[in-house]
Amino acid sequence: MLEVRQIDVRYGKRTSVSQLSLHVKAGEIVTLVGGNGAGKTTTLKAVSGLLPLAHGEIWFCGERMDALAPHQILAKGLAHVPEGRMLFKDMSVKAHLELGSLRTPAHAASFNDTLAWVFELFPVLKERSQQLAGTLSGGQQQMLAIARGLMSQPRLLMLDEPSLGLAPIVVHTLVDIIRTLHAKGLSILLVEQRVDLALQLAQRAYVMESGQVTLSGAAADLARDPKVKQAYLGLSL
Ligand code: ATP
């Protein structure tokens, strides 16, 4: 479904992602993990067209994406829920969801059907549809950021650090939602600082260090890998 082939991404002269390749198959949850500054966010931004490639190619559902603008990539069915949520604090929940539906793939369901589906997934957003985003709790804001992404009816959802700053109980809700979305057939590329959670949720994983993939494989195998345990799971050898 998604194929990232040997991409380099630079900020000015500095290369932040180098020769990175990864893929996501239809119906998979794939996670990209690594320490701070490893290049995970940069990779997601390159996939969604927010950063240009210095080298390499990105393909999605058989089409080359890396020359397209972000709104065109979204309309192909590839949505990005950014780190930090990027909501407009003075805009209502409903207005965010309308914004999320502006670019939908061809043959998409109607706005009302998608809204009903999203409200079923996030009942709290239905209750608060007229409330301003800035007045929501952190967990509700994260739900809104995901819901806005879903309003574009993506085939692949990229989630950047969805659990960041959330209370443990809200993280549980988030995990349930990711599992529900996956069960409904959505493919997911997950960047997550809670490596333990990410490896539980995903079928496959890539570990990034200094802009490169240094390990990849089945998530269950990586969760048992001594190097991963030591570096990311807080366990000593
Ligand atoms: P984190 O979990 O801390 O967000 P990350 O793995 O997502 O880490 P990136 O944010 O992709 O890492 O950063 C990769 C590298 O690119 C880092 O060295 C970072 O300092 C650099 N970088 C990120 N954004 C910019 C920017 N706007 N301008 C210049 N350098 C940047």
pLDDT digits (tens, 9 = 90+) for 170-228: 899 999 999 999 999 999 999 998 999 999 999 999 999 999 999 999 999 999 988 88
CA distance 45 to 11: 12
Give the per-residue pLDDT at 81. Answer: 93
Indicate if ligand 1 lies below 6 Å from the C-beta of 88: no
**Ligand 1: residue whose CA is nearest its atom 28:** 11
Indicate if ligand 1 lies below 6 Å from the C-beta of 18: no
**Ligand 1: residue whose CA is nearest its atom 17:** 37
Separation of 178 CA from ligand 1 center, angstroms? 25
**What average pLDDT score do residues 35-51 get?**
95
Indicate if ligand 1 lies below 6 Å from the C-beta of 84: no
pLDDT digits (tens, 9 = 90+) for 145-169: 999 999 999 999 999 999 988 889 8
